[in-house]
Amino acid sequence: MAIEIMETGLATSIQDQGRVGYYNVGIPPSGALDLVSAAAANVLVGNDPSAAVIESAYMGPKLRFTEPSIVAVTGAQIPVLVNDQEMPLWESFAVQAGDVLSFGILQGGARMYISISGGIDVPAVLGSRSLYALGAFGGFQGRALQSGDVLPVGVGNGRPGVVIPMSLRPEFSREVDVRMVLGLYDYRLTKKGLSALLDQPWQLTTVADRIGFRYDGGALDWVERIQPFGAGSDPSNITDAGYPVGSIQVPGGVEPIILHRDAVSGGGYAMVGTVISADMDLVAQCAPGAQTRFRPVTLDEALEARAAARNRRTSILRILD
């Protein structure tokens, strides 16, 4: 069983639930940017939630199945077609040998996940099948997918007609609140700089990929100081340090960047807060132009949000029960 890539779509790669435990040597978690949508895609086709799926951004790939199978598409709101017939999202369906799956025009969200019963069977590297493109390993041959690639598929036991109920699917908006915990080097911002970050919406730029999401909207002021030894000369520089996944840095005081799951693990820019784990999937589903407010929450609120997100995930994983 295999999948042939006929057209790649955009930023199409193999991802699973990520690679844990190598951040101390600069290997980021990788994995699906919208983890819950990827897990849901797997559950629909009878896979373990951590199986490998195909992730694309904005434009879906076109692919052909070599044998009958069960597939599902989750994530962004986008028409999905089999041989030009529209199929439902968030629902498993059967495909026959030679069927071609393709996509229409994106209507909401940003990233879609294609699962197939049995999972994409590329070799696991350091415990994960996820592509880490900067390191050129994982995924399919350590790179994004190209037309002509033939992806091996494992043995599955999925069935068609399994549905994730509407209430468990994400909703997409062009205006989002992203919750974050202030801290890290936020003391480097002036009061005015901090208000500039929090009191106005920021617009997501076209730099919005697996590494980071960059926002446009204004400039932030830093507290004047003589830079410490080892830090760079710009007031936004620090002595190079580890970056939390989801941390927000503001190089030069303009265009805040949220680091996502393929980001650099450290560097010399001051971080002023970190997006809470529950909202990383939400960020992943934002497309350029999204009006974004950074909303500070406490650690306890972040943990409550995490618990709520976990409940939704658990409900999704139990739809077959």
Partner 1 sequence: MSAHESRYSWGGDEHLVVQISEAMSLEANFKAMAMASALDQDRASGITDICPSNASLLVRFDPDLIAPTEVERLVREAEASVGLSTKQELETRIFELPVWYDDPYTNETGARFRDRHQTPDKNDLEFAAMENDLPDAEAFIRAHEGSPWFTSMVGFVAGLPFLFQMVPQERQLEVPKYLRPRTDTPKLTIGHGGCFTAIYSVRGAGGYQMFGITPVPIFDPEQKLLDFKDFMIFFKPGDIVKFRRVDEAEYTRILAEVEAGVYVYKQAPVTFVLEEFLADPDAYNARLLEVLYGN
Give contact residues for partner 1 (rule: CB under 8 A). Answer: 20-27, 125-126, 132, 134-137, 142, 180-181, 183-185, 228-233, 238-247, 264-268, 271, 274-278, 299, 302-303, 306, 310
User: Least separation, in Å, of the C-beta of 46 and partner 1?
Assistant: 25
Give 137 or 222: the residue with its C-beta nearer to partner 1.
Answer: 137
User: Least separation, in Å, of the C-beta of 12 and partner 1?
Assistant: 21
Which residue is listed with tokens 């710009």? 234
Return the structure tokens found at 128: 């994960």
Q: What angle do helix axes 299-317 and 35-44 make, rounded to 10 degrees?
A: 10
Q: Kindly write down the DSSP assignment for every residue of 174-225, as one continuous string.
A: SEEEEEEEE-TTGGGB-HHHHHHHHSS-EEEEEEESSSEEEEES-B--B---
User: Least separation, in Å, of the C-beta of 52 and partner 1?
Assistant: 18
User: Least separation, in Å, of the C-beta of 277 and partner 1?
Assistant: 5
For residues 203 and 262, the answer to whether their CB atoms sit within 8 Å is: no
Distance (Å, rounded) from C-alpha 118 to C-alpha 145? 19
Give 29 or 118: the residue with its C-beta nearer to partner 1.
Answer: 29
Distance (Å, rounded) from C-alpha 202 to C-alpha 206? 13
Distance (Å, rounded) from C-alpha 44 to C-alpha 317? 9
Give 21 or 289: the residue with its C-beta nearer to partner 1.
Answer: 21
Give 6 or 305: the residue with its C-beta nearer to partner 1.
Answer: 305
Which residue is listed with tokens 């790669």? 13
Give 87 or 241: the residue with its C-beta nearer to partner 1.
Answer: 241
Distance (Å, rounded) from C-alpha 71 to C-alpha 119? 10
Return the structure tokens found at 194: 């901090």
User: Least separation, in Å, of the C-beta of 93 and partner 1?
Assistant: 33
User: Least separation, in Å, of the C-beta of 49 and partner 1?
Assistant: 15
Encode burial over 1-13: b for 16+ CB neighbours within 10 A, e otherwise.
bbbebeebbebbb
User: Least separation, in Å, of the C-beta of 73 and partner 1?
Assistant: 28
Q: Are strands 212-216 and 13-15 parallel, antiparallel or unpaired?
A: unpaired
User: Least separation, in Å, of the C-beta of 136 and partner 1?
Assistant: 6
Give 195 or 227: the residue with its C-beta nearer to partner 1.
Answer: 227
For residue 54, give the amino acid letter. Answer: I
Distance (Å, rounded) from C-alpha 138 to C-alpha 147? 18
Give 23 or 160: the residue with its C-beta nearer to partner 1.
Answer: 23
Give 20 or 320: the residue with its C-beta nearer to partner 1.
Answer: 20
